[in-house]
Amino acid sequence: MKLRCNNKISVPEHLYLIVIYLIGIIMLSACKINYSFTGASISPQVKTMSVQYLQNRASLVQPGLSQYMTDALIDKCKAQTNLGLTNGIGDVNFEGEITDYNTRPLTVAADARAAMNRFTITVRVRFTNAVDPDLSYDQSFSRYEDYDSALDLSQVEKELSDKIVELLVEDIFNRAFVNW
């Protein structure tokens, strides 16, 4: 049995293709491209982040909410960025306080009782970017969830506050790193 090779590319042409391929790889490796599946846009000079404890200054204080929200923001930043967490003040720093924690009637039923209530949490955040101060901000974020007024807040509070904290942390993170 005789094996035949019907390649039409001669050895010099083959070497020419390899050289072009290698030049292309070298050119691409010289370019710095940052890809992010989170949408975060962080300067390469930013290496560290810090999150200060978010004090609860609302008129109604829910025990544990400050720690829970602080931890949720730290977890989000650690999961979505490559920044190192520092106990001092990082290249980017979050600080602030919970300013509102309340429930109010939303709609009134025919018997003049509330049919739905709105549970709201508001947090004020001061974000400082030492590398690019133009990206720093001081802003309040507020989110709410509605619930049936036949339920007592204590029955739904944990579930609703978990949802609200998740939304607030997403808003804070996006404002800091996605530049919306």
User: Could you tell me the residue range of the domain that residue 61 belongs to?
Assistant: 48-178
Report if residue 8 sits inside a domain. no
User: pTM, whole model, 2 decimals?
Assistant: 0.75
Report if residue 149 sits inside a domain. yes
Q: What is the DSSP string of 45-67?
A: T--EEEE---EE-SSS--TTHHH
Answer yes or no: are the C-beta atoms of 93 and 131 closer than 8 Å: no
HSE on the CB side for 112, CA within 13 Å?
A: 0
Which of 79, 67, 81, 68 is closest to 178 using CA atoms? Answer: 81
Higher pLDDT, 30 or 151: 151
What's the pLDDT score for residue 92?
Answer: 97
**26 confidence band (pLDDT: 50, 70, 90):** low
Report if residue 32 sits inside a domain. no
Report if residue 29 sits inside a domain. no
Report if residue 1 sits inside a domain. no
Q: How many domains does the chain have?
A: 1
**Residue 116: pLDDT over 60:** yes
**115 confidence band (pLDDT: 50, 70, 90):** confident
Report if residue 86 sits inside a domain. yes
Average pLDDT, the chain: 85
Q: What is the DSSP string of 59-117?
A: SS--TTHHHHHHHHHHHHHHHH--PEE-SS--SEEEEEEEEEEEEEEEEE-TTSSEEEE
Report if residue 71 sits inside a domain. yes
CATH number (domain holding residue 74): 3.30.160.150
Give the model confidence (pLDDT) of 126-154 as tens digits: 999 999 999 999 999 999 999 998 899 89
Report if residue 72 sits inside a domain. yes
**42 confidence band (pLDDT: 50, 70, 90):** confident
